Amino acid sequence: MDSILSVFGSYVNWDVKSLLLFTAVFILTADYIKNRRPGSFPPGPRAFPIVGNLFTVDYNRTHESLTQLAERYGDVYSLRMGQTWIVVLNRFDVLKEALVDQGDVLADRPNLPLLQDISQGLGVIFSNGKIWKQQRRFALSTLKHFGFGKKSLKPVILEEFSYCAKEFKSHKGKPFDPHLILNNAVSNIICSLVFGHRFEYGDEKFMELMSWFGKGLELEASIWAQLYNSFPLLMRRLPGPHQTVQHIWNSVKDFIRVEVKEHKHNWDPSDNRDYIDCYLSEIQMNKGQADDTFDEENLVVCVFDLFLAGSETTSTTLRWAFLYMVKYPEIQAKVQAEIDKVVGTSRQPSMEDRADLPYTDAVIHEIQRMSNIVPLSLPHVTTRDIRLGGYTIPKGVTIIPNLTSVLFDKNEWETPDAFNPGHFLNPEGKFVKRAAFIPFSAGKRVCLGENLARMELFLFFTSLMQHFTFSMPAGVKPVMDFRFGITLSPLPYEVCLTSR
């Protein structure tokens, strides 16, 4: 009897092992058949079963990893992230061919689970189709009505600078971290357009909100976000940083909902004061229409998009500007000399001064190029099969425009890895535009806040240089390393500002 049971037990044991072995072989075979590269598809590194190239990339320096892969696989290459193929585009000519020449095919965003769970396909940044077209058109027309990207916004920017300068002066030349002050100052510009008011620098709730932005954008570009997008059914049920990023953005949306509630309480349809008021009017006007995409949840996500995009990128660029000025004091002094000569000290700078400040303008552009704020732009997706770089890319493939490969391309820039304002100056010292300068991306999805960002950067930077000299604390050297995220931000640092 014991021998029979032993044989039966051995049989069952081997049967289970065989089943597991068969299952493993089946899964690996199915994964290979499903995900093998077609002959005309862009090449790329060999992908592991199930996870693909998830662990091929260094997520602390993703943009550098992707640029290095282009040296081996070419300007158009592919990676498999879990079960999803992506194609990475490198260098200016390739990005122009894709985003501009074939812009209609790449006007949509991919359906990434993490972003979908946060935005539900609403808003102006990650929406598609009818929603995107209506919301972007409305956002541009409404914000322009309130001075977006126009000279009429100049007094708002310069007034905010005066609050910012007062806060800087309160440190009396001693070391301090400018991060949250700059975030608050820049954010107040978009807040004046969207919310109809600014926030004091001592507002604890608002400062907490500002501190969340960098962390949220860092997590959205981490390995946790990639795992979430690759295996959403599993990751939705597991704890981790991928849950933290959703908590951060939900808290920001809750903050916006409070603002919307207050607007509704005081709303007068005959006197629209800001973007939220105008949106509430649009909701009322579009009720019952078949193609209506205007509702309160879309309002919240649209404000979220404008609020985040209008706060983080410009303030981060200014934080890099501080670092470059302390690293290159001779450039700082030359900028100040030009501003002193053209603007003087008795008035504030204006956009009309730009043409007479070519060196300052060149320095601002070089700060943008070197700081590389949004190194991988935002993802696109093909809406039909296209030919690109000699390859066929099917419908539904995610496209990553590697802006880093353009802004640091040795074929486009004389000294791509060095801070050199001469990149934007001709031999006569006049400012020159460069086609490969695309920090705001290009094509139909180019950053809708580009004009505002350019105005803010110019007025804030020239005003700062007019009023202050920047230096590091005694014995401290500037660290030019970064934290990778959707945006590329400098490591925390302290700086000294001396009134001129």
For residue 270, the model assigns a pLDDT of: 83
pLDDT band with cut points at 50, 70 and 90 for residue 9: low
- Is the pLDDT higher at 25 or at 51? 51
pLDDT digit string (tens) for 272-316?
Answer: 899 999 999 999 988 878 788 999 999 999 999 998 888 889 999
Q: Is the pLDDT of residue 39 over 90?
A: no
Mean of pLDDT over the chain: 91
For residue 8, the model assigns a pLDDT of: 47
pTM of the entire structure?
0.91
Residue 298 contacts residue 123 (beta carbons within 8 Å): yes
The rounded percent of the chain whose pLDDT value lies above 90 is 79
DSSP 401: E
- Is the pLDDT higher at 241 or at 269? 241
Q: Which of 36-45, 106-115, 160-169, 229-238 bottoms out in mean pLDDT, i.e. has the lowest?
A: 36-45
Residue 360 contacts residue 338 (beta carbons within 8 Å): yes
**Segments in 343-385 forming alpha helices (H):** 358-371
Whole-angstrom distance, CA of residue 360 vs CA of residue 338 = 7
For residue 145, the model assigns a pLDDT of: 83
**Segments in 112-222 forming alpha helices (H):** 113-119, 129-145, 154-169, 179-194, 204-220
Per-residue buried b or exposed e for 404-425, using 16+ beta carbons within 10 Å of the residue's own CB: bbbbbbeebbeebeebbbebbb
Residue 260 contacts residue 300 (beta carbons within 8 Å): yes
Residue 235 contacts residue 227 (beta carbons within 8 Å): yes
For residue 190, the model assigns a pLDDT of: 93
Task: For residue 448, give both structure tokens.
Answer: 């809708």
Residue indicated by tokens 């995900």:
35
Task: Assign residue 112 a region (left: φ > 0; alpha: ψ between -120 and 50; beta: otherwise).
Answer: beta
CA distances from 112 to 6, 10, 238, 471 (A): 52, 47, 18, 43
Task: For residue 323, give both structure tokens.
Answer: 């670092």
pLDDT digit string (tens) for 91-113?
Answer: 999 999 999 999 999 999 999 99
For residue 215, the model assigns a pLDDT of: 92
Q: Is the pLDDT of residue 498 over 50?
A: yes
Q: Is the pLDDT of residue 198 over 50?
A: yes
* Strand partners of residue 495: 176
Backbone angles phi, psi at 393, to 5 degrees: -115, 115
Whole-angstrom distance, CA of residue 139 vs CA of residue 295 = 14
Whole-angstrom distance, CA of residue 473 vs CA of residue 173 = 10
Mean pLDDT, residues 120-130 taken together: 95
**Segments in 221-342 forming alpha helices (H):** 223-230, 232-235, 241-265, 275-286, 296-327, 329-342
Task: For residue 254, give both structure tokens.
Answer: 């809750």
pLDDT digit string (tens) for 342-363?
Answer: 999 889 999 999 999 999 999 9
pLDDT digit string (tens) for 55-96?
Answer: 999 999 999 999 999 999 999 999 999 889 999 999 999 999
Q: Is the pLDDT of residue 35 over 90?
A: no
- Is the pLDDT higher at 20 or at 32? 20
pLDDT band with cut points at 50, 70 and 90 for residue 34: low
The rounded percent of the chain whose pLDDT value lies above 70 is 92
- Is the pLDDT higher at 152 or at 487? 487
Residue indicated by tokens 């990650």:
126
Angle at which helices 204-220 and 223-230 pack, to 10 degrees?
Answer: 70
Task: For residue 176, give both structure tokens.
Answer: 């301090």
Q: Which domains does the chain have, with CATH numbers?
A: 37-499 (1.10.630.10)
Burial (0-12, 13-18, 19+ Cβ within 10 Å), 327: middle
For residue 23, the model assigns a pLDDT of: 58
Q: Is the pLDDT of residue 447 over 50?
A: yes
For residue 254, the model assigns a pLDDT of: 95
